[in-house]
């Protein structure tokens, strides 16, 4: 793919620089479509994953206004999907799909729920892989069940894309959201894939760009960055996934051996992303633990559960039935290209020392 543009010209302009910008934009669109295994006309550029999720869910509901549409959304979705469904509740019937303790959706419940009102416009929104605990959903099964009942499927693939195989020609979802920065690309550019014939109403107005679904001046440099980052991530995906899995499993084993009471979120009952590990430590103040790790130069996150007290602050953990009496520290570790076994061994030693101190301070 050529990247000919060095400056930010408007791709909608008719002058030579505008035409060059348009060519750059369309080259990027074609490359992303090739890598995803979909029709290039189905790729709409947006401002990021959140905007793509909003457009998929709210755009579907508003396109079927007056037809009593249904939206099935899992209890462990990103807030971009959960809050979109919440906002859509006045115009659609929203159903929350339960999940098992490992984080996978209940397929029997989904099958039964979809079969209750045949013929109603229905969207199922299930994220491909969870951003907190890393659970990978059985997307092929979800698509098969939904399509059998005449429902459309949207997936938030922000966390999955580039980490595990994601191909629309192999798992034929109807809509897919993704963002560039999760791939190491630029911040502020995302995509929504939409299968031909899926009706959406735009959420903003004022231009005809991106088939009028995401109007406004397009970002050819951001689009090129997205396409390049996606190509590099997919080129390295198999080798990195193997390396990350080995690191994660060894790291997990050492954490369980060294830190009493540590819990692995997601467990071994489900497939998980190779580069993400979420753990919980009962009786430990989350805020104090994360600050202490940060002061040691170890960058981790607590996700939405990053607060003192119960882990119920996380909708994901609550949906999985993970509860604790008193303080409960959630720590999410994310591996990158530069993560080594030495880094993780130091993290185990440091976490063990800090957890002992924080547990002592948290005790009544």
Q: For the beta carbon of residue 349, count every other beta carbon within 10 angstroms.
A: 12
Residue 272 to residue 248: CA distance in whole angstroms? 10
- 277 bridge partner residues: 333
Catalytic choice (38, 81, 284, 306): 306
Map out the domains of the chain as residue ranges: 16-232, 237-362
Question: Is residue 277 scored above 90 in pLDDT?
Answer: yes
CB 283 within 8 A of CB 359: yes
Residue 40 to residue 217: CA distance in whole angstroms? 19
**23-77 pLDDT, tens per residue?**
999 999 999 999 999 999 999 999 999 999 999 999 999 999 989 999 999 999 9
Give 300-322 as a DSSP string.
-B-GGG-SSS-GGG-HHHHHTT-
pLDDT at site 117? 83
The CATH number of 237-362 is 3.90.1150.10
pLDDT at site 4? 52
- Residue positions counted in the chain: 364
**299-326 pLDDT, tens per residue?**
999 864 333 343 446 889 999 998 777 7
Closest CA to 267 of 279, 258, 251, 281: 279
The CATH number of 16-232 is 3.40.640.10
Supply φ then ψ for residue 38, to 5 degrees: -140, 170
Q: Indicate the pairing of strand 190-194 with strand 175-179.
A: antiparallel
Tell me whether residue 306 is one of the annotated catalytic residues: yes
b/e sequence 198-234, b meaning 16+ C-beta within 10 Å: bebebeeeeeebbeebbbeebbbbbbbbbbbbbbebb
């Amino acid at each position: 793919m050529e990247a000919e543009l060095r400056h930010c010209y408007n791709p909608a302009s008719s002058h030579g620089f505008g035409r060059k910008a348009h060519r750059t934009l369309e080259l990027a669109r074609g490359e992303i479509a090739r890598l995803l295994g979909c029709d290039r006309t189905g790729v709409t550029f947006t401002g990021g994953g959140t905007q793509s999720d909003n457009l998929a869910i709210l755009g579907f509901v508003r396109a079927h206004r007056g037809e009593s549409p249904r939206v099935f959304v899992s209890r462990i979705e990103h807030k971009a999907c959960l809050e979109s469904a919440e906002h859509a509740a006045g115009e659609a019937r929203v159903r929350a799909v339960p999940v098992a303790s490992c984080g996978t959706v209940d397929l029997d419940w989904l099958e039964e729920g979809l079969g209750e009102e045949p013929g109603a416009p229905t969207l199922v929104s299930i994220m491909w892989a969870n951003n907190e605990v890393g659970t990978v959903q059985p997307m092929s099964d979800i698509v098969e069940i939904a399509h059998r009942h005449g429902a459309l499927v949207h997936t938030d693939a922000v966390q999955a894309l580039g980490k595990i195989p994601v191909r629309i020609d192999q798992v034929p979802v109807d809509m897919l959201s993704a963002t560039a920065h999760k791939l190491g690309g630029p911040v502020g550019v995302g995509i929504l894939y939409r299968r031909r014939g899926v009706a959406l109403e735009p959420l903003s107005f004022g231009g005809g760009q991106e088939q009028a679904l995401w109007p406004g001046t397009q970002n050819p440099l951001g689009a090129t960055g997205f396409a390049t980052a996606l190509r590099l991530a997919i080129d390295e995906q198999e080798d990195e996934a193997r390396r990350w899995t080995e690191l994660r499993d060894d790291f997990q084993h050492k954490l369980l051996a060294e830190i009493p009471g540590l819990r692995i979120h997601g467990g071994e009952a489900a497939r998980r992303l190779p580069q993400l590990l979420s753990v919980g430590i009962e009786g430990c103040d989350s805020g104090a633990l994360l600050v202490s790790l940060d002061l040691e130069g170890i960058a981790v996150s607590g996700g939405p559960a990053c607060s003192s007290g119960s882990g119920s602050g996380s909708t994901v953990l609550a949906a999985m039935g993970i509860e604790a009496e008193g303080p409960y520290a959630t720590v999410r570790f994310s591996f990158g290209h530069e993560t080594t076994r030495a880094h993780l061994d130091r993290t185990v030693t440091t976490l063990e020392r800090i957890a002992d101190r924080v547990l002592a301070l948290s005790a009544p």
